[in-house]
Amino acid sequence: MPLMTAEEYLDSLRKLNLKVYMFGRRVSNPVDDLIIRPSALAVAKTYELAHDPEHEDLMTVRSHLTGEKINRFTHIHQNREDLLKKSKMGRLLGRETGCCFQRCVGMDALNALSIITYDIDLKYATKYNQRLLNYLRYVQINDLTVDGAMTDPKGDRSLPPHKQPDPDAFLHVVEKRKEGIVVRGAKAHQTGAVNSHEILVMPTQAMGPDDADWAVSFALPSDAEGITYVMGRQSCDTRKLEPGKRDQGNIMFGGHEALVIFEDVFVPWERLFMYREYDFAGRLVELFAAYHRQSYACKVGVGDVLIGAAQASAEYIGVEKASHIKDKIVEMNHLNETLYCGCIACASEGHQEPSGTYCVDILLANVHKHNVTRFPYEISRLAQDIAGGLMVTMPAEADFSSGEVGHLLKKYFKAKDGIPMENRLRILRLIENLTLGTAAVGYLTESMHGAGSPQAQRIMIGRRINMREKIRAAKKLAGVE
Amino acid sequence: MWNKIALKYCGGCNPQYNRREATNELKEKLGNRVEWVTVDSGEAEAVIVVQGCPRACADLSELPDVPMFMLTSVEQIQTVVADLIQAYNQPGDDQE
Ligand SMILES: Cc1cc2nc3c(=O)[nH]c(=O)nc-3n(C[C@H](O)[C@H](O)[C@H](O)COP(=O)(O)OP(=O)(O)OC[C@H]3O[C@@H](n4cnc5c(N)ncnc54)[C@H](O)[C@@H]3O)c2cc1C
């Protein structure tokens, strides 16, 4: 059965020979590294829940290629129900991990490519779609985690790839051989890259004829020769190295991003899904972005955790009945459920593409993600309001066990009678983690820039709105001829 | 009398009640009338579908062709228990 267990997944990562750097040193065993491990455990949750009777209905689905039960993260959406279940799965996993579980980007890349390869084949009589389906079968049978790699470093944003002073600012083809091509460049901010078996590369923006060498999409094993990973660091990351777990906030899970560098890496033809078809780069970005903007359903689940933490914190200090606290909790829920509406709406209004793949409603997916660039910030502000200042002024866990000051801290940080102080401190650390610490990378800045910065959604909203219809309706009611 | 019953859950994206607590209560109430089997064991004589909310989106397409009992809220636990007892047990069985 092509469904790995969490343990099998972690073991499979140990078999990879990745070249990973962090804090200026090569990391020999990323899976067991204290800083990286929580992120591997978050991905492992996507494997674990696929075996859990209470969640398998969302986490698994029948493959349209093999008929086998597969992890939904390796699936090509076959109907609207699939799109809906994808949104629901995002919320579920966000709530269960309280962080970015990293596996959605590859799923979104596979779905976008299932559409675009078909469209390219129609125009140019190429064989990309069959190649992609062969690759997909391999991913499904082996239940792989795939890093969806779109974002280039981009150098001077005002210049297209071919005008960049350094041509490597966008990943590009440097050589064509009989067996394949050689590429050079980098992909920035790669979510879960070091926890992935495969890396699936796509161009990052629309391109013109002079950019043809930059219009390239392919997949490689994550440990292919010539690929190097440099881990991004996160606020408070070294807390994971300290004895005791409380100050981490989320004591189980986390996310990660890395810069992935391709130094003259060979790509065989059978792993190429776009090669110089620059006229399809923009549409691929639009499709991937739409799916990935839907994927920000996960932030609703993380919002569930933050709202739960804020409510618990209010109860610990006896303010939960105050009218302004109740109102703030309602407001947080209102914002969070509004986000949920968006990811459900774009799925419900999905449509079938000529390739057979179901695609979300692109306008609504952009509206959803645009809300995501805002609401988690407001939910965080309200959570910090309710939490009080201790979430940022609390001494370290070690101080609480100190023979000299520990008893004083316990005396002065005691809250309501009957509430163990430990519980309050843990919840406050979790709020800190989500709004300022390692998880704020995922809950806040990823909400802002991941799947495209806010302006990218505004451009899409502007393009997709049927303005003529609005004008027609207005004119008719106003009696304008 | 023993009946072989399986539990099928929806995916649990945003359940409106604690599905695990509800099934524990259900199991307690049904006591030793029921032998719990898995959905794909091929032995289930009935399936209780534990849906986290009234949207009831669990995929039923691969369930065995046996009677189904839907649970979409905690309030329904008693009804499901009563329906099961009525469907499978002789009068008086529930006194054991
Ligand atoms: C936590 C996190 C996880 C991510 N995960 C992934 C991933 O897994 N895979 C992946 O491929 N990408 C990933 N991304 C990348 C994400 O898609 C980019 O951050 C996003 O597209 C913005 O690009 P940038 O960060 O280079 O911002 P910049 O391009 O530096 O943008 C900075 C500002 O400049 C503006 N700007 C940029 N270019 C122009 C222009 N030409 N004209 C006018 N204004 C402009 C932007 O709107 C923004 O306001 C991730 C990002 C984050 C933060």
DSSP class of residue A3 equals -
Cβ–Cβ gap A89/B14 under 8 Å: no
Q: pTM of the entire structure?
A: 0.96
* A359 counts as catalytic: no
- C-alpha to C-alpha distance for A20 and A17, rounded to whole angstroms: 9
What are residue A198's phi and psi, to 5 degrees? -135, 155
In the block, residue with structure tokens 């094993």: A221
Q: Tell me the nearest-neighbour CA distance from A53 into chain B, angstroms.
A: 6
- Is the per-residue pLDDT at B93 higher than 90? no
Contact B12 A55 (CB under 8 A): yes
- Residue B90 is predicted with a pLDDT of 45
Catalytic annotation, pick one of A60, A77, A96, A104: A104
What are the extents of the domains in chain A? 293-478
Owner of token pair 């004829």: A209
- Ligand 1, residues A113, A151, A302, A458: which to mutate, most atoms within 8 A of Cβ? A151
B59:A54 CB<8 A: no
Beta strands in A7-124 (DSSP E): 20-22, 25-27, 60-62, 69-71
Residue A56: list chain B partners with CB under 8 A: 9, 11
Is pLDDT at B12 greater than 70 in this prediction?
A: yes
The closest alpha carbon to A147, from A101, A86, A193, A204, belongs to A193
All residues of chain B having their beta carbon less than 8 Å from the beta carbon of residue A58 are 10-13
Query: Is A91:A301 a contact under the CB 8 Å cutoff?
Result: yes
Q: What is the percentage of chain A residues whose pLDDT exceeds 70?
A: 100
Give chain B's domains with CATH numbers: 3-88 (3.40.50)
B13 touching A (Cβ < 8 Å): yes
- Going by the DSSP 8-state scheme, the letter that residue A77 receives in this structure is P
Q: How far is B38 from chain A (nearest CA, A)?
A: 9
- With CA atoms as reference, the chain A residue closest to B6 would be A53
Mutation choice for A interface testing from B5, B8, B9, B13 by most A CBs within 10 A: B13
Look up residue A168 and give its two tokens.
Answer: 């490597």
> What is the model's pLDDT at position B89?
65
Pocket test for ligand 1, best of A453, A458, A459, A460 (most atoms within 8 A of CB): A453
Instruction: Identify all chain A residues contacting B7, using CB atoms and an 8 Å cutoff.
Output: 53
Per-residue pLDDT, averaged over A272-301, amounts to 98
| Residue matched to tokens 């799965």 | A89
Q: Which residues line ligand 1 (CB under 6 A)?
A: A 105, 148-151, 154, 157-158, 187, 189-191, 257, 441, 445-446, 449-453, 455
Three-state SS for A305?
helix
For residue A431, what are its two tokens?
């709020």
CB contacts of A340 in chain B (<8 Å) are 14
CA distance A34 to chain B (A): 30
Residue A191 appears among annotated catalytic residues: yes
Element (H, E) at B68: strand B68-71
- The catalytic residue among A48, A198, A257, A315 is A257
- β-strands B46-50, B3-9 pairing: parallel
Closest CA to A186 of A228, A135, A220: A228
Q: pLDDT band for position B32 (50/70/90)? A: confident
Instruction: Spell out the residues 6+ positions from residue A395 whose beta carbon is closer than 8 angstroms to its own.
Output: A405, A409
* Coil vs helix vs strand at B5: strand
Mean pLDDT rounded to a whole number for chain A = 97
SS3 of residue B75 by DSSP: helix
Provide the residue type at A261 as one letter.
I
The fold adopted by the segment(s) A293-478 is Butyryl-CoA Dehydrogenase, subunit A; domain 3 (1.20.140)
Q: What is the mean pLDDT of residues A460-471?
A: 97
What does the pLDDT look like over A319-378, one tens digit per residue?
Answer: 999 999 999 999 999 999 999 999 999 999 999 999 999 999 999 999 999 999 999 999
Mean pLDDT of A401-417: 95
How far off is chain A from B55, nearest CA to CA, in Å?
Answer: 12
- Beta strand pairing status for A25-27 and A351-352? unpaired
The CA radius of gyration of chain A, in Å to the nearest whole number, is 23
Task: Indicate the pLDDT class of residue A222, thresholds 50, 70 and 90.
Answer: very high
CB contact under 8 A, A55 and B7: no
Which of the residues A118, A296, A340, A443 is marked catalytic?
A: A296
Size of interface A-B (CB pairs under 8 A): 45
Pick from B11, B57, B59: CB nearest A55: B11
With CB atoms and an 8 Å threshold, state whether A54 touches B14: no
Q: Cα dist. A285→A130, A162, A215, A261 in Å?
A: 21, 18, 11, 21
Residue in the structure block whose two tokens are 């590429």: A183
**Pairwise CA distance, residues A197 & A221, whole Å:** 6
Query: Which residues from chain A sit within 8 angstroms of residue B39, using beta carbons?
Result: 53
CA dihedral A355→A357→A362→A367, nearest 10 degrees, is -170
- Pair B71, B10: CB distance under 8 Å: no
Pairing of strands A257-268, A227-231: antiparallel
Residue A2 pLDDT grade (very low, low, confident, very high; cuts 50, 70, 90): confident
- CA dist A238 and A200 (Å) reads 30
**Residue-level pLDDT at B96:** 42
Tell me what pLDDT residue B95 has.
44
